[in-house]
């Protein structure tokens, strides 16, 4: 394609893996040009293939419960949502999900849930120990929100390998608009630092198109990813939930999310980058398009079928069809249709290639 100022920035990011703050703002704005977005996806896919070939890692997602002590303004399982039908999985139920997932070929289990005191360190450590003793060749990822450093250490010692904690936004003012006063931007950042220092493969991430988000706030997110160097990053379009203060807010777009996936891959070529459920929710081929834009992870749902619809972070969240772990063959066909194959491996982050 014909080179312009925006494609120059894409080339610079692909080669140097960093930009300055002003350049990031310009790069974000460049994504409104479909030609620039397509070029970024091409460069991102090329870099991703250097590390992961045409393999797509699958993770078995187990949504352990939807009780949450927090009242985040965007989230459907916020404590203030009295319409939410709450549930918790027992250790036996979680192990049953892992048993089924292992037989289906999953070698990473992702335990995700709201911030719930029921899942104490003692209870979680027992669950982790049981999973690791039964499936020593598997990785376990936790996504259970903000905890004390001592808690993160105990869970790591019990066998947790990875931890996903979306930072949501790297802009303090924006963070405070998305969260109630009792939640702290500084504490969220403290948690991410603690997790990385303890030795987890750490994932951060943000919503694309959340209320009050601007090119400047997105540039701060990209600069944060550049500096923090996470092992994983989960982004997806903001989708409003009818029982939250943001019920009438505009949703994020597929196109902007895909472009930002490409930019994140260019910032960190070895990153584990999911094509999220939210992408599949906003477009029937959202996951495939996410992979083509630079993603390399998909997380089908292993949760008990009767509980999946209750974990409704946003309206119309997918939990069946190819989103279901039981439909792995359908997922394999969908990936094959775009030239990729599903990998049955733990799928750890690859070390950066020195240049």
Question: What pLDDT was estimated at residue 85?
Answer: 96
Residues 6+ apart with CB under 8 A from 203: 141, 143, 162, 163, 164, 165, 166, 230, 231, 232, 233, 234, 272
The two structure tokens encoding residue 137: 């060749």
Element (H, E) at 130: helix 121-134
Question: What pLDDT was estimated at residue 353?
Answer: 85
Residue 164 three-state SS: strand
The two structure tokens encoding residue 85: 């039908």
User: Cα–Cα distance between 260 and 218 in angstroms, integer?
Assistant: 9
Question: What pLDDT was estimated at residue 329?
Answer: 86
Question: What pLDDT was estimated at residue 46?
Answer: 97
User: Cα–Cα distance between 85 and 183 in angstroms, integer?
Assistant: 24
Q: Around Cβ 5, how many Cβ atoms within 10 Å?
A: 10
Q: What angle do CA 183, 185, 189 make, to 5 degrees?
A: 120
Strands of 25-117, DSSP E:
55-58, 60-65, 108-113
C-beta separation of 110 from 141 below 8 A: yes
Burial classification of residue 105, based on how many CB atoms lie within 10 Å of its CB (0-12 exposed, 13-18 middle, 19 or more buried): middle
Question: What pLDDT was estimated at residue 4?
Answer: 66
| pLDDT tens for the 355 residues of the chain, in order | 445 679 999 999 999 999 999 999 999 999 999 999 999 999 999 999 999 999 999 999 999 999 999 999 999 999 999 999 999 999 999 999 999 999 999 999 999 999 999 999 999 999 999 999 999 999 999 999 999 999 999 999 999 999 999 999 999 999 999 999 999 999 999 999 999 999 999 999 999 999 999 999 999 999 999 999 999 999 999 999 999 999 999 999 999 999 999 999 999 999 999 999 899 889 999 999 999 999 999 999 999 999 998 999 987 886 655 556 668 888 999 999 999 999 989 999 999 987 6
Instruction: Identify the DSSP state of 297.
Output: E
Question: What pLDDT was estimated at residue 320?
Answer: 57
* Helix (H), strand (E) counts: the chain: 14, 9
pTM as predicted: 0.96
């Amino acid at each position: 394609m014909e080179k312009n100022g925006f494609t120059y920035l894409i080339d610079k990011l692909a080669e140097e893996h960093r930009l300055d703050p002003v350049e990031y703002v310009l790069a974000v704005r460049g994504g409104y040009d479909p030609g620039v977005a397509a070029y970024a996806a091409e460069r991102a896919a090329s870099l991703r293939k250097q590390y992961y070939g045409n393999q797509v890692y699958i993770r078995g997602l187990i949504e352990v419960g939807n009780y949450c002590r927090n009242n985040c303004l965007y989230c459907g399982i916020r404590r203030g949502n009295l319409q939410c039908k709450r549930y918790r999985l027992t250790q036996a139920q979680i192990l049953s999900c892992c048993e089924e997932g292992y037989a289906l070929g999953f070698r990473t289990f992702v335990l995700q849930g709201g911030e719930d005191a029921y899942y104490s360190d003692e209870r979680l450590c027992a669950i982790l120990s049981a999973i690791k003793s039964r499936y020593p060749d598997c990785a376990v990822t936790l996504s259970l929100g903000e905890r004390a450093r001592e808690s993160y250490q105990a869970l790591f010692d019990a066998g947790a390998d990875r931890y996903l904690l979306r930072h949501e936004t790297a802009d303090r003012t924006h963070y405070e608009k998305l969260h109630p006063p009792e939640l702290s931007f500084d504490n969220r950042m403290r948690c991410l630092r603690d997790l990385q220092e303890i030795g987890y493969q750490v994932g951060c991430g943000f919503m694309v198109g959340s209320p009050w988000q601007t090119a400047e706030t997105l540039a701060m997110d990209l600069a944060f990813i550049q500096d923090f160097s996470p092992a994983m990053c989960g982004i997806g379009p903001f989708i409003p939930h009818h029982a939250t203060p943001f019920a009438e807010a505009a949703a994020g777009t597929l196109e902007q999310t895909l472009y930002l996936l490409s930019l994140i891959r260019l910032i960190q070529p070895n990153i584990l980058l999911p094509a999220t459920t939210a992408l599949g929710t906003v477009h029937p081929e959202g996951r495939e398009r996410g992979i083509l834009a630079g993603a390399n992870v998909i997380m089908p749902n292993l949760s008990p079928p009767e509980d999946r619809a209750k974990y409704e972070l946003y309206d119309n969240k997918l939990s069946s069809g190819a989103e279901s772990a039981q439909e792995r063959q359908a997922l394999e066909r969908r990936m094959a249709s775009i030239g990729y194959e599903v990998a049955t491996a733990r799928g750890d982050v690859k070390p950066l290639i020195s240049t």
